Amino acid sequence: MKKIVVIGNGMVGYKFCEKLRAAEGNEIFDVTVFGEEPWPAYDRVHLSSYFSGANADTLMMAPRSWYHEHDIDLRTNELIIKIDRIGKTVHSHTGNSIAYDFLILATGSGAFVPTISGVDKKGVFVYRTLEDLDAIIAYGQKVKSAAVMGGGLLGLEAAKAVYDMGLKTHVVEFAPRLMPRQLDENAAALLKSKIEDLGIGVHLSKNTREISGNGKLTGLEFADGTKLDVEMLVISAGIKPRDELARDCQLETNVRGGIVINEFMQTTDPSIYAIGEAAAYKELVYGLVAPGYEMATQVVNQLVGKEVKPFMGFDMSTKLKLIGVEVGSFGDPFGDIEPCKSIVFEDKVKGLYKRINISKDGKKLLGGILIGDTSAYNMLLQMVQNHMPLPPEPEDLILGSRGGKEPSGAGIAALPEGAQICSCENITKSDICKAITEGGIEDISALKSCTKAGAGCGGCVPMVQDLLNHELKNLGKKVKNVICEHFDYTRQELLDIIKIKEIKSYNRLLDEVGHGDGCEKCKPAVASILASTWNELVVKQDTIQDTNDRYLANIQKGGSYSVVPRIPGGEITPDKIIVIGQVAKKYGLYTKITGGQRIDLFGARVDQLPDIWEELIDAGFESGHAYGKSLRTVKSCVGSTWCRFGVQDAVSYAIRVEERYRGLRSPHKLKGAVSGCTRECAEAQSKDFGIIATEKGWNLYVCGNGGSKPQHAQLLINDIDSETCIKYIDRFLMFYIKTAEPLNRTATWLNKLEGGLDYLRDVVVNDCLGIGEELEREMDFMVDTYACEWKEVVNNPVLRAKFKHFVNTEENDPAMAFQPLRGQKIPVEWHGQ
């Protein structure tokens, strides 16, 4: 058994372990991994999500149990302090020593901290680890302003995190423009303008001379004599390779940092490899995860005897979203590697900048820059990497071809089989196509799981989806995400058809744009769309299949139904409580207070429902819509009315919000909450929309989810007034209703939404699609036309007559039976349970 020791348990160290254990012949290796942090490897690429709901567990590359299951000895919180190359052993700070046959240095990098006077003051942080982030969050709660030193990729990521904390944010950059390694002057100027529009200060050409303050940071002093008053500083000005262990054991290191490696990732000691940000190949340190993954793969190939592909450098193209702005830089962005001609398109009104660099002979694409719209990035990058021919009119690549056709020679079909689709995992077009054609894969989730494509940064997912659709079409399979076989349309398309044609019944829709008789999938889905569009009662639709909607109540075990009156914000008068008690006693109903601050009444027969609701409605209650794909509750704490910690009146606002959106039909159920302070007693961050009071107003969170697959809601915007909050919820809910697939909760919808939270914020807050007022008008229509469904049934003899067990008799269901429990009744257990 040969012993492998891995020093460093970051993303690249983990990827080495994953690749090794997946390789044939790996069983001959005993593997020990040392990590100085307390957690297993976590995703540093998405660190900023830590500020909007993610935690250490959600960022983990794999749980601790994964290492045990794969016979890997993971030692966290243990720092290697010495490498003995002669004895082939490593020594940790705890006094442990372990021998190795092969040593993998995946020590990564640390934050580069400039030598500035005052850098050790309280309030100065780096942006690198989870512990750094915890410290930033804790200190950020005590201050109102912060500066980020660094206007590159890392700096702008840190600035987004600080901005999401609700602090007045400044970016300080030494260079005369933002992202100087990726963007030209015009692109950087546009990015600066878009960031400043958010209220973030951008300070360029600033050489920080001193960090002022008496023990605690109070501001920055620049070499040009200017000052910036801030209360916190986050340094994110670059990385410094962790090469100290290599230097101490006399391995060759680069003058500017990094462990020198050859094309096989070997250091000057052939039994020691270096991978990731700790390694320097031809004096260059790669600060992206994809090159590190490729290094890890090739080291594994050498160890298990597979074909090795020498590392000859790596493309540093990148696409990401920085503080809500899409940015892409690919190939040779500045056109300074070889002579070229540039085509530039700029629209300052829409915030777009697109530049492509064409070879002098006009035959190939060399590189380019995209700001504001990176939808063409993946295809343009493929054209550069695979030397694909240019279309007759190269400007079509960034302007869009006239006539709406794809430029000649472009498109997914034109890519060669060896085209690298996923750079993080080095997955080619051929790998993906084989998984589809030979493995029978037909959905994106299975494809990602099988090939790992898109499992890293996620930037390649749109192209992976395009490949999946293309291959399925070639196989003669439909790829359109239609509702069912009776309608060749998506939910979104059906919603548009219903609205444009003013269709108000399922039968007419089926006659005009569908075929067949319909099914249990399309009938309730169409009923929901019709209700979402026209706000007419679902119960009036004869063809509806969903039992809960047909009888406006949830069917329970044993065939009985539950009754759930709405109690907005959880506030209820004593008289109404008495009525509920009287109704429960009269009809012998099991009574329970729910987690959503309502009272459930169980055990009603279907024929009793109208009578029960008549009494409740007379007392001032209305339908709680517990049975529908609609708003259920807006939970609240008592807020400033009673609580000594409350800063806003949570109950009043929760009632206002719940009464506004009551009855709103949607692709899935909706839940909301309003907390009167950041102690969060209403659990707003587990709801589809959650509102948390601050001293300045309200923070709005969206797309949370409890249940079997819980997901934290994410911060959409902070410190807004009550009217603005309502406006943004209007837009958010209507946009969700219009674009989500059937039975997708808001969390699932957001996970599938291209661009994620940043795009959703652009639509809802920044109104990037120009539909904000339309969405508000549509919500106003829903509010103005709302009617309590049960009140309509109670007062309509025709509808009321539908509520009986059998269509041909007034008899009750003889199979329905109950048994006593703690002074109430519950259903008798069914046979076979």
**Amino acid occupying residue 769:** L
Measured distance CA(219)–CA(202) in Å, rounded: 15
Measured distance CA(66)–CA(5) in Å, rounded: 17
Contact 728, 716 (CB under 8 A): yes
Measured distance CA(735)–CA(780) in Å, rounded: 14
Measured distance CA(600)–CA(564) in Å, rounded: 5
CA dist list (Å): 676 to 503, 652, 702: 43, 10, 17
| Greatest C-alpha distance within the chain | 94
Query: Does 788 show up as a binding residue in the annotation?
Result: no
Contact 12, 106 (CB under 8 A): yes
Q: Could you tell me which of 510, 487, 804, 546 has the C-alpha nearest to residue 665?
A: 546
Q: Could you tell me which of 183, 514, 116 has the C-alpha nearest to residue 322?
A: 183
Main-chain phi, psi angles of 50, to 5 degrees: -60, -25
In terms of Cβ atoms closer than 10 Å to its own Cβ (0-12, 13-18, 19+), residue 199 is: exposed
Measured distance CA(66)–CA(349) in Å, rounded: 50
Beta bridge partners of 735: none
The DSSP-derived string for 387-415 is TPPPPSSTTHHHH--TTSPPPTT-SGGGS
* Pure H helices in 73-217: 130-140, 153-164, 185-197
Measured distance CA(562)–CA(288) in Å, rounded: 55
Strand ranges, E, within 679-740: 689-694, 697-702, 714-720
799 SS3 class: helix
Tokens of 216: 């605690």
Tokens of 551: 């009888």
Measured distance CA(556)–CA(305) in Å, rounded: 61
The DSSP-derived string for 559-611 is G-EEE-B--GGG---HHHHHHHHHHHHHHT-EEEE-TTS-EEEEEE-GGGHHH
Three-state SS letters, 755-789: CHHHHHHHHHCCCCCCCHHHHHHHHHHHHHCCCCH
Contact 171, 195 (CB under 8 A): yes
Query: Does 677 show up as a binding residue in the annotation?
Result: yes
Query: Does 637 show up as a binding residue in the annotation?
Result: yes
* Pure H helices in 678-771: 722-739, 746-752, 756-764
How would you classify the pairing of strands 219-222 and 208-212? Answer: antiparallel
Other residues' Cβ atoms within 10 Å of the Cβ of residue 142? 9
Query: Does 457 show up as a binding residue in the annotation?
Result: no
Binding-site sequence positions for siroheme: 681
Positions at the binding site = 637, 643, 677, 681
- Which residue ranges are tagged as binding site for [4Fe-4S] cluster? 637, 643, 677, 681
